[in-house]
Amino acid sequence: MQGREISQAVIQRLPRYYRYLGELLEDGVERISSNDLSKRMKVTASQIRQDLNNFGGFGQQGYGYNVKYLYTEIGKILGLEENHNMIIIGAGNLGQALANYAAFEKRGFVLRGLFDINPALTNTEIRGVKIRMMEELKEFVRNNDVEIAALTIPKDTAVEVANMLVDNGVRAIWNFAHTDLNLPENIIVENVHLSESLMKLSYNICRYNEKHKE
Ligand code: NAI
């Protein structure tokens, strides 16, 4: 399994499998057939079999999938068994909301620091994590093995800040600023744009309304 390239389309679906399998585990379900999982997830059973076959032999004919095993393996594939040190740049509304969401830590994303330029935020803490000023950032990143930086700052400063982070060893950017960062190829960037999701919703509402117009 190691070293094998898995398509991005499959990777995108894995967190959803992970969530459903986690819920099954919580409900004490030990095994599940692809048909039952298909009904729950509203994905075809063949899609499930195809996706999960990517990782080789998780399912057994007539037995189904071992929920705990599959959950653990998908967790490993998603890198959730390791801790990832994370910082947040921009401790405004969004940055603080992310910092307040304790569940990220359960998945191994450990918030090490928050950074901002607003001196009024100095020494404020969110869930015990201090908000620091940007002047401290370079040294902090170098000394704390920071892997991921979430960017929740205005878009006009995002590119400059992202470059600085990368120059100091940050390997992955979780980008909420509404701009493309154009970083070197070895830097992993995940853009999150809630407004794009909302536009998709809007499109679907319009389509629904069209269909149901008298
Ligand atoms: P906000 O104004 O509450 O917070 C922004 C924070 O960034 C402020 O505390 C400010 O002092 C700080 N800041 C500004 N320049 C900085 C710099 N160079 N270095 C460090 N800190 C800096 O704004 P809010 O609502 O938290 O939004 C933050 C950003 O996230 C905005 O760019 C907004 O457009 C974007 N956003 C993106 C969403 C998405 O789905 N991708 C959803 C909501 C907001």
Task: Tell me the pTM.
Answer: 0.88
Query: What residue owns the CA closest to ligand 1's atom 7?
Result: 90
Has residue 40 got a pLDDT over 70? yes
Has residue 193 got a pLDDT over 80? yes
Cα 172 to Cα 165: distance, rounded to the nearest angstrom: 9
**Residue 172: what residue type?**
A
Closest atom of ligand 1 to 94 CA is 26
Residue 134 CB–ligand 1 contact under 6 Å: yes
pLDDT tens-digit readout, 129-188: 999 999 999 999 999 999 999 999 999 999 999 999 999 999 999 999 999 999 999 999
From residue 140, how far is each of 14, 17, 123, 190, 199 by CA, in Å? 33, 36, 15, 22, 38
- CA–centroid distance, 108 to ligand 1, in Å, is 24
Mutate to test the pocket of ligand 1, among 153, 157, 179 (most ligand atoms within 8 A of CB): 153
What domains can you pick out in the chain, each with its CATH number? Answer: 8-77 (1.10.10.10), 84-196 (3.40.50.720)
Cα 18 to Cα 67: distance, rounded to the nearest angstrom: 10
Better-predicted residue by pLDDT, 6 or 92:
92
Strand order in the sheet with 84-89: 125-126, 129-133, 109-116, 84-89, 148-151, 172-175, 188-191
Has residue 4 got a pLDDT over 70? no
Mutate to test the pocket of ligand 1, among 94, 155, 163, 176 (most ligand atoms within 8 A of CB): 94
Residue 95 CB–ligand 1 contact under 6 Å: yes
Has residue 41 got a pLDDT over 80? yes
